[in-house]
Structure 1
Amino acid sequence: MTITRFAPSPNGPLHLGHAYSAIVAHDLVAARAGRFLLRIEDIDGGRSRSELPEQFRADLAWLGLEWEEVAAQSTRIEAYEAAAETLRGEGLLYPCSCTRADIAAAATQTDPMGAPLYPGTCRTRGPVGEGPFAWRLDVDEAVSRTGALTWSDELAGEQEAQPGLLGDVVLVRKDAATPASYHLAATLDDAADGVTLVTRGSDLFAATHVHRLLQELLSLPVPRWHHHALLVEPDGQKLAKRRGSGAAGFGLSERRLAGEDGPALAADIRAGRFPSGISLSPSLS
């Protein structure tokens, strides 16, 4: 059975980009008589807002979607800590004191998302100060133990895992309010929820190289992936909460509370009819 999920973070209202992602995931499994899960990813430190999950549920129901809700990330902290301790005990994590400014100053390359690529500073010199420290995955050492790995995307086809593209990623954050990074938490959650098809935006395509490595290191099942296109604004930037896309006519709750017809909006999204200036990014296929 195909099982996929929609996994929003409650750090801002849902917008049209979220609606597109949820509808793609919902429809993929509906066509295969599968299961569509909702998982609230609520460990984003002080940015998570307790009132938003209920708003998300109302928005999805308004669109005409049906789902099964699984445990929120905030209930899974022990599992994240146990996985990190396993990797730490195997010598695959190291403490890091570097700040974003440190990394930007020292980096000589960028990752696939355009961010400064961590140059392994603390892997070679050790952390500075007394902490708290982040814990990074020693990717070269991990790859030396697993050997070559592959993964499969329904649009882009078979892929050779290249986790080094993202460098030594953080798995445990120094901020105690956000105990696990997206890489560790989402990988463990998908395995725990029995997800067989990871449906998410193409902006997370590169992250899958690391997630495939973590699955091998932690003996987790390997799903397939479906990285769909993104809704983008006229400047080519994806709709994003931090850029105000939850408002200015793009917010789902705003539209719902204004009395708009949710199923009609969902039908427009399925047909590729978006508000003026909004379009789909190029597909990976």
Structure 2
Amino acid sequence: MTPSACYRGRFAPTPSGPLHFGSLVAALGSYLDARAAGGQWLVRIEDIDPPRCPQGADSIILRQLETFGLEWDEKVRWQHDRHEAYQQALEQLAAQGLAYPCSCSRKQWQAYAIYPGWCRDGLSDPDKPAAWRLRSDLARRPIIWQDRLFGYQQFDPADLGDVVLKRKDNLWAYQLAVVVDDAEQGITDVVRGLDLLDNTPWQRQLQIALTLPEPRYLHLPLVVTPEGQKLSKQNLAPALAEEADDVRRQLFQALQALDQTPPAELATEPPTSQLHWAVANWSVGRLTPSEHRFSP
């Protein structure tokens, strides 16, 4: 990538618990891509789901990033402050006929692979609480983009279903919030895990409908356990250790998981030295588009 001060990347964790090794790989990949391009790297806390976000988890995440030397530009943003922006975007979509209220429960349509769109032409039960969904069949389709690692991508979001934009409990859903915030922060490049690749079609539909910029995407290979299970908080992946020796080891292993082939002697160097080497030698071309089985 040609170095450019216009590059703006971000790491946007959900504070449902401390970062684990898979989170570190995602954060490191986005950080290195931004720094190697001479750009900025931002941190956003995606805390729109309070029941999943224990108090203090955001502070732990920020401390972990600092411990690993991943310093961000600009002030940290929190999504819980962004209700008005999300509401404005939802109203804009509704005015175009691209968002509609839905009173159906998951139990009602559990026999279907995707939500059947029963409320597209009016609430099926006006007396029940309603979520808001995207009319994926009316928004731009198919969605085509070029992923920087996985290449040509084409999806018809209508085959994926009408994604929820606002929940019945009035909490905002990820798809709308991430699109609005990426645009507001001027994000040019989204670097994240492969598990989010199939979210991109809805997000690009929303970007087009809201006339927002469409960032470039780089989806990183997933880090999985030796048994093939994705490292995640839901799967009880252990939190990153924060002792100095462990930090050096885990950072070095994260560089290996990103296929950057760091020299062996770098493993005992402090984060500043490891990151200096990694930024200078970052290459998307080294990434391999397959799962990485790893035992951190």
Same fold (TM over 0.5): yes
Q: 1:48 aligns with which of 41, 44, 53?
A: 53
- 1:267 matched to 2:272: no
Partner of 2:132: 135
* Alignment of structure 1 residues 39-188 onto 2, 5 Å: 39-68=44-73, 69-105=75-111, 107=112, 109=113, 117-123=114-120, 126-143=123-140, 149-176=143-170, 178=171, 180-188=172-180
Q: Is residue 64–residue 263 contact of structure 1 (8 Å, CA) maintained in 2? A: no
Q: Is residue 150–residue 289 contact of structure 2 (8 Å, CA) maintained in 1? A: no
Structure-2 separation of matches of 1:148 and 1:5: 27
Q: Is residue 63–residue 265 contact of structure 1 (8 Å, CA) maintained in 2? A: no
Report the more deviating stretch, 220-229 or 151-160. 151-160
How far off its partner does 1:82 sit?
0.5
Partner of 1:113: none
Q: Is residue 29–residue 258 contact of structure 2 (8 Å, CA) maintained in 1? A: no
How far off its partner does 1:121 sit?
2.0
Q: Is residue 151–residue 212 contact of structure 1 (8 Å, CA) maintained in 2? A: no
- Identity among equivalent positions (%) equals 40
Q: Structure 1 residues 33 and 119 mapped into 2: Cα distance closer, same or farther (>3 Å)?
A: same
Unpaired runs of at least 5, structure 2? 1-5, 260-287, 292-296
SS of 1:25's equivalent in the other structure is: helix
Partner of 1:114: none
Runs of 4 or more, structure 1, over 4 Å off, are none
Structure-2 separation of matches of 1:241 and 1:271: 22
Structure-2 separation of matches of 1:210 and 1:202: 15
Q: Structure 1 residues 132 and 45 mapped into 2: Cα distance closer, same or farther (>3 Å)?
A: farther
How far off its partner does 1:14 sit?
1.1
How far off its partner does 1:90 sit?
1.9
- What letter matches 1:216 in structure 2? I
Structure-1 separation of matches of 2:190 and 2:244: 32
Q: Structure 1 residues 151 and 70 mapped into 2: Cα distance closer, same or farther (>3 Å)?
A: farther
- 1:196 matched to 2:193: no
Q: Is residue 231–residue 281 contact of structure 1 (8 Å, CA) maintained in 2? A: no
Q: Structure 1 residues 18 and 218 mapped into 2: Cα distance closer, same or farther (>3 Å)?
A: same
How many residues get paired?
A: 258
How far off its partner does 1:56 sit?
0.7
SS of 1:140's equivalent in the other structure is: coil
Q: Kindly provide the CA deviation profile for residues 69-108 of structure 1, in whole angstroms up to 9, marking residues without a partner as x.
A: 4321111110000000111122221211122222213x0x
Structure-2 separation of matches of 1:32 and 1:210: 27
Structure-2 separation of matches of 1:70 and 1:57: 9
Structure-1 separation of matches of 2:258 and 2:218: 22
How far off its partner does 1:60 sit?
0.8
Q: Is residue 149–residue 289 contact of structure 2 (8 Å, CA) maintained in 1? A: no
Structure-2 separation of matches of 1:99 and 1:208: 25
